[in-house]
Amino acid sequence: MDLHRTSILNQMDYNRDSKEGKATQSTEERLDSGVDSLKEEEYQAVADEIHRLQLESEHQQAAALTKEPLQEWQTQTTDEGDTLLHLAIIHEAKDYIKQMIELSRFSNFLDAQNDLRQTPLHLAVITNQADVCYSLLDSGCDPTLVDNNGDTPLHIACRHGNLHCFSVITQHCRLEHLHTAMAACNYSGQNCLHLASVHGFLSLVEKMVDLGADINAKEQHNGRSSLHLAVDQQNLGLVKLLLRKGADPNLLSSGGHTPFQLTYGLENCDIRKELLPVTHPDLRELYESDNSEEESEEEQEESESDVEGMYDDFRWNGH
């Protein structure tokens, strides 16, 4: 594929007279892409790399269209829907795993889901086999598929603090797959960052934020961010980490509370001291309606328990 500077400039040189009253700028004045600053060999290297990527993409698309049908052994499943690869991973039969993956590169067999909708990659993470995770990803499996809980394999790694499998997935899956997996919420409304925060895995939290995870994303149950969840867990170290990484201390939950307001009634005063100076003054105090609402809820629960007790007494006395 030949790339020419003249063609690039011609493509960019349009609508010169689109703005009335302004002198038309020359192409050189309007364009400062740095193309002309490249040496000829550097320019050709860029062109060759683009050509290589295009050929690679075309090859992958062609391979996807011409996938061979599954062999008989690849269609065999147990009553629970497990394929032979599922079983080999469960029993950590390394030789069989390696052979089956090599025979199934870039095929749908690697993404087969059992009755729990678990893929081989899910099971590799559950059984903490980072080497199998790498082989599956290198052979074209899809890391964005979810199980019956809505969890991707990355969700499972974050829930259990599985750093080895986490590192393999984040380093060896395609960038668009990584962003999809990190942003996806499971059926409990939590994404990977929420899970790592709830379970206190600071290293995973930091790595995901560095990889582009939205630090202010809210879980879908109560609308709480990772900073809210860190306060819930009274995890001072996580609170400090999230603030240092740019978490918004003034973000409101679905109930209209900031992380600082969640510290009322908690024993850890250090968290309050950490959040106080970074929280907007108008968002520090709990409104009286909040307190009265909580009191009314408590009174209602006590009233209901009293009614239940009266009913039990009446029923027993009636016999």
Burial (CB count <10 Å: 0-12, 13-18, 19+), residue 98 = middle
Q: What is the DSSP letter of 107?
A: S
* Domains of the chain (ranges, CATH numbers): 74-214 (1.25.40.20), 220-304 (1.25.40.20)
Encode the chain (319 residues) as per-residue pLDDT tens digits: 444 433 333 444 434 444 444 444 444 444 444 545 566 666 677 776 776 666 566 555 545 544 678 899 999 999 999 999 999 999 999 999 999 999 999 999 999 999 999 999 999 999 999 999 999 999 999 999 999 999 999 999 999 999 999 999 999 999 999 999 999 999 999 999 999 999 999 999 999 999 999 999 999 999 999 999 999 999 999 999 999 999 999 999 999 999 999 999 888 899 999 999 999 999 999 875 555 444 445 445 544 544 344 434 434 344 4
Other CB atoms within a 10 A radius of the CB of residue 302 amount to 10
Do 225 and 218 contact (CB within 8 A), yes or no? yes
| Residue with the two structure tokens 């560095």 | 210
Shortest CA distance to 235 belongs to which of 276, 263, 265, 254? 263
